[in-house]
């Protein structure tokens, strides 16, 4: 037993103390010991009042420290709040509020209808909507419970650990988290499976970064590395109160009468994941909604579409019209009551009630006002909301079942998590997107390089293939790639294009197959298989490969299945460099505390050790990384890689031999959409290094705010007089279809902003990869100034400087005269915090809107939400936010539409979203197809609904005015009940579900059609007024022509004249025919289903009228046998019906014909082209029209390829000119 313990201790001592590898951000500083007399030094303000008793969670209750549990909820309702909140949601719709009042008044004697007729429809509408809300919130609840019921190992007592559900974790609990598990709360790291207490953490769900972060425990807690050691553990944490800042933490740990300072390097945040570490022990500091990730979230909002909001204004107008005609009716009734009723002996005025008392005409008029308000209520259709709810649910079902948005790999379909915002998908103007996991799949491929002024790598990037295929299509006259429904470089059967780039020079652009080696797509026999030894500059090539294999901070892991090494690197670039070095014969296979080991296969197989003397890390300010090593011969070398602008400024005179050629190659790499780094080195004398190292160690020993500045100054002294070797070019692999999707969305007129927690350089490179940025685009970079030398009021100075940067940038855009100039705004999180302040945010927004592309980097989840809110409220346009992690929840909830990507890393974004998709590229179909359809369907449906109810409702007013404002309805009660529920409901629902102006393929080929939504072409005030006028015209024609026909002439051969029931039934029949034929004219996509239900609706009226007339007179009243005996045999009835149906629809038919002939809309032209099959018989015209059907854009592959084409054509023109050929 003792021997086993010794062996175990020996193995532990042999573990690497990885934290020694890190110089700047992760260097270990000695914990600051503070005199225990005053343990709250620096923590005296109210925002630092939290006190945590470690391993004693029950002590908090006894000391009245009320901390929330670890239970989380993202639902809108709970059992207690559901009824009041849901009812409030329903009755903030003004129509529902009106019908509630009408339902209450229907219980009084003054109601013209029975109470059931008013209460039943309202109950049905509200109940259906509340049930839908409950179902959607229940899904959120089940997702919450999946998280709350996760389990983690927690200390119970006496050194025993038991599994405990997440929601039962309390502040102060000691937990053990194992590899690849998420942290259940914000934890203070106590120890880990590594001897020096470091662990690796993946924070993708928090900041979107996939590179691993190194966290480290305090030395004093390192002994607590096994379960038994916590038996008597007791300590106290005093720290900051809960706040949303992910990158800061201030606190102290009190242990054994000593106080140790804490910083963010000891904090493990909830929803981040433990990686490459067997286990860690930690104590819960913030739980539940106190944790930083949930502090960055916002309450689930209640969202309404813009059409629904506009419907409120329409209802206000209709309600005003209702009140107006009701006032007219009540005044008229009061006049008739005072002057007419006394002369109408048959009404027995001496026995009149208060409802029509000649002696009290004012009171009678007031009572009649209420009657009129209820009678004319059909101007505000309660069934509209029922129909919309049904239609939206069916639309959501079609979205959920769209096989084109089904991910076969994960088995996840698209999902409309709420159906309230379907039509909003068709009105999006700005998309705010996360980067990691949303745009990228975090795969970097080494594609090309430049060594000693020679370019290597014959593979083609996606940008080069796109340009070549586009030019090839122009030359051959084949359909342009713009017309392809999917990624043309993925789906095109022709895998190559041969194109003449310059006179006499041709190049074959081949589609690269899926790389067999992850991270390595390089193709060039000159360097592969050791052939580089035959190159004239083999010495420079060796140094190039050594920089790749030595200058990094990665850790090798041996894959037993493949036999190769994989690398845990801080960035995807670094991993790709190591894979490339391995394939070139320089395999990094081992790291120790002070050395890295490389297995070199060429020119002579050997294993080399490079001692690491110093490491200077990459950061966003330095834009470079350097390592000083000593090889086996004792030679000291500085190896450096970084941005070309930084490296070139640090070259020695003798080191610029390859500068011009390398710069040319870097420009070519940039034009090809590749991200590049320059590589350089410097040989050091031992005395030179010794002198510098003393300065470096002195700066490293500094404790205080100037430490990083001094380290940077010393590092900068060393990183001078470099010798350039070459440059790398890697392709950032985006998710499948992302470039094509962004290009189509840009052609559709949408603006795309990227909000990411990544570093600025990474975000910029991704911008280039997905064509949000391109060569020639002018970049506006806003960042905070260096405040090291500012002593007074640094905040004001920084703020003024940022304001000046924004002003100068705005002025530069205004003065730009080139119409093709494109600007990109890039801003980091620190500068953004100032730009979002109240006195500057609108100035910042104005600049951002003027730019073609906006990238915000190093932003917190809270800042993402604030930017989204600023764009939404500042522009007044529809915003869509899309993301895949917990760090995106805030902006997803804040945007008008939130889309979550159901990726592999958690479901927090999906839980908070309105729609979810499995991959970003399906956003194109969700918006351009389903969004376009849903917007047009709902808009036409609402307009039609108001049309038919105006046409129907105003006839009631005309008849009442015609009959002395008597309050009498010309229609039977059952007619009015069935009008909206059965007789006209099915066609309008089919219009909202099946209407297609064009097919899905055409939507994708003509993306400019999408702009009909953001321009609100089908629901603007002119169109609403036109439909209202159409309804007014129809009501006038229906009433007055019917009156003129039936008033004073016989309508049957026996000479019988029409009574009120006959005329009312005839008029109602005309209405049924007119409104059903109107919707048939409105539909662009008539199938047998639409035909069936239009004719069924009309036929149902005759079936009902026949059955109703056959009932007892006590039920049918004046409609007894009305169709069989009275109307059916009368030719006048049938002729009037035909004439009225035609007369009511003639204006719409004439207007539609005129528009199609002289002022056609885009979809009218496309419909005619499809009808005459021009897409088949005249492909050139179809191609030409589809290429025109896009919004002018300065981002996306289209803009990028156009720029490449202009460049190639320029080269061709120069070549032709040099040959003296006159074109």
CB-side exposure of 810: number of CA atoms within 13 Å? 14
* Residues whose CB is less than 8 angstroms from the CB of residue 366 and which lie 6 or more positions away in sequence, other chains included: 330
* Cα 924–Cα 398–Cα 923 angle in degrees, nearest 5: 15
| Joined tokens for residue 158 | 């006496």
Side by side, which strands form the sheet with 273-275? 213-216, 198-202, 273-275
| H or E element that contains 1202 | helix 1196-1218
Count H helices and E strands in the chain, helices first.
40, 36
Q: Most distant CA pair in the chain: distance in Å? A: 128
Coil vs helix vs strand at 681: strand
Strand pairing report for 258-262 and 33-34: antiparallel
Instruction: Detail the DSSP E strand segments found in 793-833.
Output: 823-828
Q: How many other β-carbons are positioned within 10 Å of the β-carbon of residue 474?
A: 12
Interstrand relation of 151-157 and 160-165 (parallel, antiparallel or unpaired): antiparallel
CA distance 931 to 750: 13
Among the listed residues 910, 898, 883, 926, the one whose alpha carbon sits nearest the alpha carbon of residue 412 = 910
Residue 805: which residues within 8 A CB-CB, separation 6 or more? 782
**Residue 466 and residue 764: Cα distance in Å, rounded?**
21
Distances, alpha carbon 910 to alpha carbons 139, 884, 914, 931, 1127, in Å = 11, 7, 8, 19, 59
* Residue 524 a catalytic site member: no
- HSE-CB at 26 with a 13 A cutoff on CA atoms is 23
Residues 6+ apart with CB under 8 A from 38: none
Backbone angles phi, psi at 800, to 5 degrees: -65, -40
Q: Which residue is it, tokens 């296979």?
A: 589
Sheet hosting strand 186-192, strand order edge to edge: 160-165, 151-157, 174-178, 279-286, 186-192, 267-268
> What CA–CA distance (Å, rounded) separates 883 from 890?
10
> Considering 434, 573, 732, 828, which one is annotated as catalytic?
434
Count of C-beta atoms within a 10 Å radius of residue 531: 12
Task: Report phi then psi at 679, rounded to 5.
Answer: -120, 140
| Residues ≥6 apart with Cβ < 8 Å to 120 | none
608 and 631 Cβ atoms separated by less than 8 Å: yes
**In angstroms, what is the C-alpha Rg of the chain?**
37
φ, ψ (nearest 5 deg) of residue 456: -120, 145
Question: Which strand (E) or helix (H) includes residue 762?
Answer: helix 760-769
Active site residues: 434
């Amino acid at each position: 037993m003792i021997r086993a313990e010794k062996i175990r201790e020996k193995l532990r001592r042999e573990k690497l103390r990885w934290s020694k590898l890190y110089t700047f951000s992760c260097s270990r500083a000695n914990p600051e010991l503070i005199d225990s007399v005053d343990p709250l030094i620096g923590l005296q303000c109210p925002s630092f009042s939290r006190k945590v008793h470690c391993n004693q969670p029950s002590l908090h209750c006894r000391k009245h420290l009320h901390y929330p549990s670890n239970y989380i909820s993202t639902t809108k309702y709970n059992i207690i709040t559901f009824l009041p909140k849901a009812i409030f949601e329903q009755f903030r719709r003004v129509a529902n509020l009106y019908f509630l009042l009408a339902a209450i008044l229907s219980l009084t004697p003054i109601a013209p209808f029975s109470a059931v007729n008013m209460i039943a429809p309202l109950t049905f509408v509200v109940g259906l909507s509340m049930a839908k809300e409950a179902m959607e919130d229940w899904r959120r609840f089940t997702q919450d419970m999946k998280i709350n019921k996760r389990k983690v190992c927690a200390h119970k007592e006496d050194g025993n650990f038991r599994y405990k559900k997440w929601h039962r974790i309390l502040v102060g609990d000691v937990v053990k988290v194992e590899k690849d598990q998420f942290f259940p709360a914000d934890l203070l790291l106590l120890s880990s499976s590594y001897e020096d207490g470091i662990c690796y953490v993946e924070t993708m769900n928090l900041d979107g970064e996939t590179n691993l972060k190194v966290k480290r425990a305090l030395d004093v807690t390192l002994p607590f590395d096994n379960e038994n050691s916590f038996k008597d553990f007791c300590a106290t944490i005093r720290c900051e109160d809960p706040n949303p800042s992910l990158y800061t933490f201030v606190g102290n740990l009190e242990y054994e009468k000593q106080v140790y300072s804490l910083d963010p390097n000891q904090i493990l945040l909830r929803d981040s994941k433990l990686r490459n570490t067997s286990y860690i022990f930690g104590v819960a500091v913030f739980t539940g909604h106190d944790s930083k990730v949930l502090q960055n979230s916002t309450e689930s909002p209640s969202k309404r579409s813009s059409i629904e909001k506009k419907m409120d204004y329409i209802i206000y107008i209709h309600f005003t019209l209702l009140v107006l005609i009701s006032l007219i009716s009540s005044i008229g009734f009061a006049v008739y009551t005072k002057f007419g009723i006394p002369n109408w002996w048959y009404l027995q005025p001496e026995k009149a009630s208060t409802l029509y008392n000649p002696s009290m005409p004012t009171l009678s008029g007031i009572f009649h006002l209420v009657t009129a308000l209820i009678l004319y209520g059909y101007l505000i259709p309660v069934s509209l909301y029922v129909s919309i709810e049904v239609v939206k649910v069916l639309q959501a079902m079609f979205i959920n079942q769209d096989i084109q948005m089904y991910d076969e790999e994960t088995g996840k379909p698209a999902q409309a998590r709420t159906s309230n915002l379907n039509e909003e998908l068709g009105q999006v103007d700005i998309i705010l997107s996360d980067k990691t996991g949303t745009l990228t799949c975090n795969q970097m491929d080494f594609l090309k390089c430049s060594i000693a002024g020679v370019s290597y790598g014959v593979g083609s990037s996606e940008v080069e293939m796109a340009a070549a295929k586009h030019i090839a299509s122009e030359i051959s006259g084949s359909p342009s790639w713009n017309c392809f429904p999917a990624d043309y470089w993925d789906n095109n059967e022709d895998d190559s294009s041969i194109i003449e780039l310059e006179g006499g020079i041709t190049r074959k652009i081949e589609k690269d197959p899926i790389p067999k080696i992850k991270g390595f797509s390089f193709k060039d026999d000159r360097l592969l298989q050791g052939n580089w030894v035959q190159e004239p500059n083999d010495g420079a090539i060796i140094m190039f490969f050594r920089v790749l294999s030595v200058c990094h901070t990665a850790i090798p892991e041996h894959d037993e299945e493949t036999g190769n090494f994989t690398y845990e690197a801080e960035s995807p670039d670094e991993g790709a460099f190591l894979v490339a070095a391995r394939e070139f014969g320089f395999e990094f296979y081992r790291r120790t505390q002070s050395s890295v080991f490389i297995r070199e296969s060429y020119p002579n197989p050997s294993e080399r050790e490079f001692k690491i003397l110093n490491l200077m890390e990459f950061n966003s300010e330095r834009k470079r990384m350097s390592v000083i090593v000593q090889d086996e011969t004792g030679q000291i070398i500085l190896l450096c890689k970084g941005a070309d602008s930084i490296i070139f400024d640090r070259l020695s005179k003798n080191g610029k031999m390859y500068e011009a050629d390398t710069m040319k190659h870097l420009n070519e790499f940039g034009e090809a959409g590749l991200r590049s780094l320059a590589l350089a080195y410097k040989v050091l004398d031992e005395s030179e290094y010794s002198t510098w190292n003393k300065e470096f160690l002195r700066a490293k020993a500094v404790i205080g705010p100037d430490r990083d500045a001094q380290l940077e100054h010393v590092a900068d002294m060393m990183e001078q007089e470099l010798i350039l070797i070459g440059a790398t070019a890697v392709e950032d692999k985006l998710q499948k279809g992302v470039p094509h999707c962004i290009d189509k969305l840009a052609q559709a007129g949408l603006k795309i902003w990227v909000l990411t927690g990544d570093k600025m350089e990474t975000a910029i490179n991704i911008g280039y990869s997905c064509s949000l940025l391109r060569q020639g685009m002018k970049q506006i970079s806003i960042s905070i100034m260096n405040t090291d030398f500012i002593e007074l009021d640094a905040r004001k100075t920084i703020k003024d400087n940022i304001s000046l940067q924004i002003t100068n940038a705005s002025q530069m855009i205004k003065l730009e005269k080139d119409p093709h100039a494109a600007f990109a705004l890039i801003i980091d999180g620190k500068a953004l915090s100032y730009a979002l302040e109240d006195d500057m945010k609108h100035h910042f927004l104005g600049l951002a809107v003027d730019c073609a592309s906006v990238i915000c980097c190093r932003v917190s989840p809270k800042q993402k939400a604030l930017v989204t809110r600023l764009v939404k409220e500042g522009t007044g346009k529809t915003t869509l936010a899309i993301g895949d992690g917990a760090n995106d929840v805030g902006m997803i909830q804040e945007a008008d539409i939130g889309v979550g990507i159901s990726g592999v890393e958690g479901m927090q974004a999906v839980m908070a979203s309105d729609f979810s998709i499995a991959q970003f590229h399906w956003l194109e179909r969700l918006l351009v197809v389903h969004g376009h359809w849903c917007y047009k369907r709902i808009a036409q449906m609402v307009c039609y609904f108001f049309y038919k109810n105006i046409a129907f409702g105003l006839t009631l007013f005309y008849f009442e005015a015609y009959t002395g404002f008597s309050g009498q309805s010309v229609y039977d009660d059952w007619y009015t009940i069935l009008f909206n529920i059965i007789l006209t409901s099915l066609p309008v629902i089919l219009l909202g579900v099946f209407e297609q102006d064009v097919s899905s393929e055409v939507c994708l080929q003509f993306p400019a059609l999408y702009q009909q939504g953001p321009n609100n072409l089908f629901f603007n005030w002119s169109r609403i007024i036109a439909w209202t006028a159409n309804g007014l015209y129809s009501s006038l024609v229906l009433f007055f022509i019917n009156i003129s026909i039936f008033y004073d002439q016989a309508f049957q051969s026996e000479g019988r004249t029409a009574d009120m029931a006959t005329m009312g039934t005839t008029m109602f029949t005309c209405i049924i025919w007119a409104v059903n034929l109107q919707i048939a004219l409105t539909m662009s996509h008539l199938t047998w289903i639409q035909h069936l239900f239009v004719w069924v609706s009309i036929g149902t009226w005759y079936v009902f009228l026949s059955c109703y007339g056959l009932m007892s007179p006590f039920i049918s009243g004046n409609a007894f046998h009305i169709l069989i005996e009275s109307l059916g045999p009368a030719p006048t009835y049938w002729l009037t019906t035909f004439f009225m149906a035609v007369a009511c629809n003639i204006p719409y038919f004439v207007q539609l014909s005129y528009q199609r002939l002289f002022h056609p809309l885009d979809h009218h032209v496309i419909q005619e082209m499809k009808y005459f099959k021009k897409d088949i018989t005249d492909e050139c015209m179809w191609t030409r029209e589809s290429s025109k059907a896009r919004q002018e854009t300065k981002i996306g592959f289209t803009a990028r390829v156009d720029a490449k084409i202009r460049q190639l054509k320029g080269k061709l023109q120069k070549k032709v000119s040099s040959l003296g050929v006159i074109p």
